[in-house]
Structure 1
Amino acid sequence: MSVVTTALAGVVFGLALAAPPGPMNAIIAEESVVSGWPAGFRAGLGAMVADVLFFVLTLAGAMAVIDRYPIVRPVLYFAGGLLMLYFAVGAIEEARAATSFTDGGRHESNGFRKTFALSLTNPYQIGFWLTVGVGLLESGTLDVLAHVPGAGAALAGELIVQTGSPALLAGFFGGIAIWIVIYPATLVAAGRRVDNFAPAVAGLSAVVLAGFGLLFLVAGTARVV
């Protein structure tokens, strides 16, 4: 496989992991429609910076320490769940306050801090870097689309690439970067055309965050019991 093809496969992988609905995209959406594209981009950047940090820790072998202490994962589930519920309350307040799309940064954005903190307590994101992330660094093969959330089983075997390549890693982070640019831009464009778009998106973000928050708390409880 050529360097260009490998890099493009990495871009597809990054986009496939970044695009599915979840707490990170909920926060990006809320920030985008309430405070404009820069705020949405910064929120996406928070999650991406966390991924870069996890990548560096994986490269150094530090992430493997988490597997040595069973108590760490339940703690992460509880911390992540509580953070999501806290952010969901904030999203509800934004939904009530936002009467239309502002595109002007009605308040100081803290989306970067939200997504970065949430990423650091997200066991699924950490689990990715403990498993698939390690695989990206080692020589071998990777079934790229098999790891797409919610659709991996149907897409398995469709795109298999060689791992351990700098081009694959560069493409992977490039795909995430593309998403955090175009996703907020798309939401902003829609918000300029539909007056009630901002409160609707903020309300939906609250529902998503609350749902995932409760899911994380239940998962943490199950691991303790």
Structure 2
Amino acid sequence: MNAIIAEESVLRGWGAGFRAGLGAMIADVLFLVLAFVGVVAVVERYGALQSALYLLGGVLMLVFAVGAWQEARGAASFTDDLEAGATGFQKAFVLAATNPFQIGFWLTVGVGLIKPGTLDVLAHVPGIGDALAGSFVVETGSFALLVGFFGGIVLWITTYPAALARAGRRVDAFAPAVALVSGLVLAGFGMLFLALGVMGLV
């Protein structure tokens, strides 16, 4: 998600980067609703469905990586007017919605966030967890926790694109470089997802 946000921010400005982040966050909201009603757990039960999501996610990442490389070649400077088949919002939403890691998060941590109870956050720190136990306990299943969680996402998708856009304005060469690196990150994860999908089907 951050690779797409970075690419959009340096090539098209803060607004495009923010909209890409918003696409990923909307997918999280969707998963939150599905976790509430128990639908997300279906993916965990069917291994073939998980593998299909890995394969789909991997193919999409490779397609978006090629698009990022083409934009990197075509962008002479920051916020060039580039043609794109899909907006950053669409790309981030589709990748987030087909990302097995994101689904896995909502099957585990996400379900823990919405289930009433308590979570001793620092008790799980390796090595010193026993000494820190009880020092930072969070009440799960509360509206305030969910507001804080999504508030943190909004803060990130606001400040991260702003920092990249500001850097891009200072150095024109920065925009194509970030698009190129974003493409490399997407391609790397795309190949990883394809490998995981194939292994799951074998």
Q: State TM-score, norm by structure 1.
A: 0.81
Mark the CA change 1:146 to 1:91 in structure 2 (over 3 Å): closer, same or farther: farther
Counterpart residue identity of residue 77, structure 2:
S
Identity %: 63
| Matching of residues 71-150 of structure 1 within 5 Å | 71-102=48-79, 105-107=81-83, 110-142=87-119, 144=121
Per-residue CA deviation, residues 66-117 of structure 1 (Å, 9 max, x unaligned), is 2232211000000000000000000000110111112x65446700110111
- On the 8 A contact 1:135/1:163 being kept in 2, the answer is yes
Q: Partner letter of residue 85 of structure 1?
A: L
Q: Distance in 2 between matches of 1:47 and 1:146?
A: 30
Counterparts in 2 of 1:30 and 1:143: CA distance versus 1, 3 Å: farther
Number of residue pairs the alignment of both structures matches: 197
Q: What one-letter code is carried by the residue in structure 2 that aligns with 1:49?
A: I
2:167 corresponds, among 176, 190, 195, to: 190
2:189 to 182, 206, 212: 212
CA drift of 1:142 comes to 3.0
State the partner residue of 2:177: 200
Q: Evaluate the alpha carbon distance shift between residue 143 and residue 191 of structure 1 in structure 2; reply closer, same or farther with a 3 A threshold.
A: farther
Aligned equivalent of 1:45: 22
Distance in 1 (CA, whole Å) between partners of 2:181 and 2:24 is 20
Structure 1 counterpart of 2:200 = 223
CA distance in 1, matches of 2:127, 2:77: 39
Preserved contact between residue 71 and residue 82 of structure 2 (Cα < 8 Å): no
How much does 1:120 deviate? 1.2
Q: Indicate the structure (1 or 2) with the bigger Cα radius of gyration.
A: 2
**CA shift digits 1:21-51 (9 cap, x unpaired):** xxx0000110111111111111000000000
The match for 1:69 among 36, 46, 61 is 46
CA contact (8 A) 1:39 1:105 kept: no
Structure 1 alignment gaps of length 5 or more: 1-23
How far the C-alpha of 1:121 sits from its partner, in A, is: 0.8
Deviations 1:111-133 (A, max 9, x none): 01101111111000001001111
- 3-state SS of 1:192 partner: helix
Contact 1:36–1:105 (Cα < 8 Å) also in 2: no
Residue 173 (structure 1) aligned with residue 150 (structure 2):
yes
Distance 1:35 1:155 in 2: 45
Q: TM-score w.r.t. structure 2 length?
A: 0.90
| Secondary structure of 1:142's aligned partner | strand
The answer for the alignment partner of 1:16 in structure 2 is none
In structure 1, distance between residues paired with 2:192 and 2:162: 29
